[in-house]
Structure 1
Amino acid sequence: MDQPGTLVLIMAVAVLAPLLAYAVGRWLAVPLVIFEILLGILLGPDVLGWARTGQVIDVLSQLGLAMLIFLAGYEVEFDRIKGDTLTRSVWAWLIALVLGLAAGVLLSGGGFDKGLYVGTALTSTALGAILPVLRDAGQLRTRFGSVMMAMGSVGEFGPIIAMALLLSGRAPARSAAVLVAFAVLTAGAVFWALRPKPPWFSRVIGKTLHSSAQFAVRLVMLVLVAMLALSAVLGLDILLGAFAAGLITRLVLQGAAPESSATVLSKVEAMGFGFLVPLFFVVTGIEFDLDALLRGGKELLLLPVFLLLFLVVRGLPMWLLAPRDLGRRDRSALVLFGSTALPLVVAITTMGVQAGKVTAGEAAALVGAGMLSVLLFPLAGLRLLAGAGEEGGARAGGRGADRVNGGDAW
């Protein structure tokens, strides 16, 4: 099918997916992205063969991935994740990187280049995919939500940095110099974002918030495109620019127009989750190489291995370094949510296949494991959090009863 026809099918799937999620949600809370990906696989060349991607749809898909990472960066609240929690998150990711590289090299039979791609993919966390789940479940503003945001932010940002340093094809010293240059320019943007804005700035945002001018939304898109362009000029992955753009945008809006920032974010989210982000996930399904996964016994066996490695490589360090005030169920839920990976796995495996370091079957196994992680891990994590809440309520109720009855529990 031609590009316009494929785009119509993609948007039809984007409309159908929430309806299916709503219908199934009466019995089982399945993340929306699962329906988008599965329906994309159904449309793709390995099943019905109704949809094939091309240059225009690939560009839109990349913008969808950038928007997903941008929104994840916007959600990061430094006042909630700083200090000991952030330190633990960084160490947990660094340990995961060592474990991931070791596992990747072993699985590749000692091939270090392939091990770099596999190992880096195993350390990622799909922050942009799990934050909406936590928000819908009312967990984002809890202590667990704060810890998960810290762990997930490092799990999103760390692999992007690793991609720039280890997978760029440049010498490490040059890659580091480029990253320093990017950091300096980003710091300049942050400095501008933190500076007090003139009174007219807030007035213009408020006056155009519900008009055709939409100054704030256009400014947000300018920041995003500018950071993507800066990444491209420096030869870095655009996801680094997207994440930085989210951080900068939050500082700009909250500093200039805190009363309007929630409304502006809702408009940007409508653009992202209403069009670009579902397009990325549907295209991920369309381009998923199901044939390469099914025709080879080795690749199919690798899928559960990778799924387990997500839990071991990414989850185990999080369990060990989680703040001590989290209970056992919260720690287990942290492992499950933190081991949920997909967007960066798609990006990293695509780079590996293009570089000739990862085969199509191996990439399909990794991406397939990422899909299963998005399907299984958040569901199990939500059940654990619900159980932890019920246990906490029961304990509180028991203490209250003891106090009323004059018991010794207090």
Structure 2
Amino acid sequence: MEHPGTLILIMAAAVLAPLLAHGLGRWVRVPLVIFEIVLGIVMGPDVLAWAHSEELTDVLADLGLSLLIFLAGYEIQFDAIRGDTLRRAVWAWVISLVAGLAVALALTGLDFPRSVIIGTALTSTALGTVVPLLRDSGDLQGRFGTVTMAFGAVGEFGPIIAMSVLLSGRDPGLSTVILAVFAAITAGAVYWALRPRPPWFTRVIQTTLHTSGQFGVRFVMLLLVSMLALSEAFGLDVLLGAFAAGLLTRLVLQGAAPEVGEDVLRKIEGLGFGFLVPLFFIVTGIQFDLSSLLDGGRPLLLLPVFLVLFLLVRGGPVYALAPRDLSPLGRRALTLHSATCLPLVVAITTIGLDEELLGRSEAAAMVGAAMLSVLVFPLLGLHQRNKERKVSRVRAGAGADGTETW
């Protein structure tokens, strides 16, 4: 029987997390998601045992993950990232996938199903986690933000595609055909989204924006649910549908109501980051198998190994293929942001556990390493960007008075 106190505790933790992040922010910037997951672990069965995984919270957490991926898809601006930058991002991810599968095969003793789980997880980028940090630091706009979005988008989209093809339980050839059909339907939806909307459509969005009608928000939710249902009907991972829905929503809102599109998005973000997304991360903490990790032995040894592999397998190809117009400090920051992961690692390891392809200790080590990546890599990346800005200011000052001030 479900206990209503669990949901109350989760929402209390969701309120407490930003207060802790704000209070600690005077000394060190810690991503909000870390506080959410840690609070979930503390409340969970392995520490205080105040909260346990329940059907209601699990459903809400799944919605939170879908909305997180949806918002990440919305952030993608293909007009800005197409061309050479996008090609570099795709090739970097393909190399990561090959390297990840090779490393995983070595770790698992050529156990291919387990290797697919581990190898795919090593190639992911937590774009939904990185974007708020970039926005807060002012790095989202400009060339660095564009490049990070390109590499992050492929790092988010690529593993979802790989999961749909390799983890569906079907023949890879059949999965590819099904994926191609889904892509064709999505392309048709993109074509529809790019067509001019009738005047009444824009007018209704504008006139109901601040009323109980909320036509724009309801239409976006319809797009999201429809794409989730479509991916479910095709036997694909629902995260693929969520990501596609985010792309479609940007196209529709920009074409139909660009002047109020951001206002509609803010309402969706309020629902996501105010309720469902933190709930997903807190539930992830509640479900985290801390006891397996703290028992010592192989799981505890695997945690730093996976953390290094995230940086090498995902970050290495990114650094090698980063656009040449980025400075060395910018390339290091891009590498660190690209190697940051968590949501897809949680999703992929959950699939591995459900399919009994992955042990609980291995899953705990991977999720633990992904949590550390969210804590460590973005902070190091922001540090590299701050150093780059200081160097730029020094150079600008030297150029102004004609003297070197190094």
Same-fold status (TM-score > 0.5): yes
Residue in structure 1 matched with residue 116 of structure 2 by the alignment: 116
The structural deviation recorded for 1:181 is 1.3
Residue in structure 1 matched with residue 72 of structure 2 by the alignment: 72
Cα pair 1:101 1:118 within 8 Å, conserved = yes
Residue in structure 1 matched with residue 31 of structure 2 by the alignment: 31
Residue in structure 1 matched with residue 297 of structure 2 by the alignment: 297
Cα pair 1:306 1:369 within 8 Å, conserved = yes
Once residues 3 and 193 of structure 1 are traced to their aligned partners in structure 2, the CA distance between those partners, rounded to angstroms, is: 43
Residue in structure 1 matched with residue 250 of structure 2 by the alignment: 250
Give unmatched runs, 5+ long, in structure 2: none
5 Å-filtered alignment, 1:93-172, equals 93-172=93-172
Residue in structure 2 matched with residue 329 of structure 1 by the alignment: 329
Deviations 1:141-175 (A, max 9, x none): 02111100000000000000000111111001110
Residue in structure 2 matched with residue 310 of structure 1 by the alignment: 310
Count of residues in correspondence between the two structures? 405
Cα pair 1:20 1:35 within 8 Å, conserved = yes
Cα pair 1:2 1:52 within 8 Å, conserved = no
The structural deviation recorded for 1:408 is 11
Residue in structure 2 matched with residue 186 of structure 1 by the alignment: 186
Residue in structure 1 matched with residue 8 of structure 2 by the alignment: 8
The ranges of structure 1 where at least 4 consecutive aligned residues each deviate by more than 4 angstroms after the TM superposition are none
Once residues 245 and 112 of structure 1 are traced to their aligned partners in structure 2, the CA distance between those partners, rounded to angstroms, is: 32
Once residues 188 and 324 of structure 1 are traced to their aligned partners in structure 2, the CA distance between those partners, rounded to angstroms, is: 35
SS in 2 for 1:307: helix
Residue in structure 2 matched with residue 19 of structure 1 by the alignment: 19
Once residues 115 and 79 of structure 2 are traced to their aligned partners in structure 1, the CA distance between those partners, rounded to angstroms, is: 36
Once residues 277 and 163 of structure 1 are traced to their aligned partners in structure 2, the CA distance between those partners, rounded to angstroms, is: 22
Residue in structure 1 matched with residue 377 of structure 2 by the alignment: 377
Return the letter of the residue paired with 1:399: G
The structural deviation recorded for 1:357 is 1.3
Cα pair 2:398 2:404 within 8 Å, conserved = no
SS in 2 for 1:305: helix
The structural deviation recorded for 1:184 is 1.2
Q: Kindly, what percent of the aligned residue pairs are identical?
A: 63
Once residues 348 and 193 of structure 1 are traced to their aligned partners in structure 2, the CA distance between those partners, rounded to angstroms, is: 31
The structural deviation recorded for 1:92 is 0.2
The structural deviation recorded for 1:2 is 3.8
Return the letter of the residue paired with 2:344: L
Return the letter of the residue paired with 1:396: A
Once residues 297 and 281 of structure 1 are traced to their aligned partners in structure 2, the CA distance between those partners, rounded to angstroms, is: 27
Residue in structure 2 matched with residue 275 of structure 1 by the alignment: 275
Deviations 1:342-386 (A, max 9, x none): 000001001111111110000000000000000011111111101
Residue in structure 2 matched with residue 340 of structure 1 by the alignment: 340
SS in 2 for 1:210: coil
The structural deviation recorded for 1:90 is 0.2
Once residues 314 and 396 of structure 2 are traced to their aligned partners in structure 1, the CA distance between those partners, rounded to angstroms, is: 33
Return the letter of the residue paired with 1:324: R
Give unmatched runs, 5+ long, in structure 1: none
Once residues 106 and 29 of structure 1 are traced to their aligned partners in structure 2, the CA distance between those partners, rounded to angstroms, is: 37
Deviations 1:222-243 (A, max 9, x none): 0000000001111111000000
Once residues 7 and 116 of structure 2 are traced to their aligned partners in structure 1, the CA distance between those partners, rounded to angstroms, is: 35
Return the letter of the residue paired with 2:252: V
Once residues 267 and 8 of structure 1 are traced to their aligned partners in structure 2, the CA distance between those partners, rounded to angstroms, is: 23
Deviations 1:195-228 (A, max 9, x none): 1111111111110001110000000000000000
SS in 2 for 1:146: helix
Cα pair 2:336 2:378 within 8 Å, conserved = yes
SS in 2 for 1:200: helix
The structural deviation recorded for 1:296 is 4.0
SS in 2 for 1:29: coil
Once residues 310 and 69 of structure 1 are traced to their aligned partners in structure 2, the CA distance between those partners, rounded to angstroms, is: 20
Residue in structure 2 matched with residue 367 of structure 1 by the alignment: 367
SS in 2 for 1:236: coil
Once residues 72 and 401 of structure 2 are traced to their aligned partners in structure 1, the CA distance between those partners, rounded to angstroms, is: 43
Once residues 321 and 16 of structure 2 are traced to their aligned partners in structure 1, the CA distance between those partners, rounded to angstroms, is: 41
The structural deviation recorded for 1:59 is 0.7
Cα pair 1:67 1:272 within 8 Å, conserved = yes
Return the letter of the residue paired with 2:171: A
The structural deviation recorded for 1:110 is 2.1
Residue in structure 2 matched with residue 57 of structure 1 by the alignment: 57
5 Å-filtered alignment, 1:79-90, equals 79-90=79-90
5 Å-filtered alignment, 1:389-408, equals 389-402=389-402
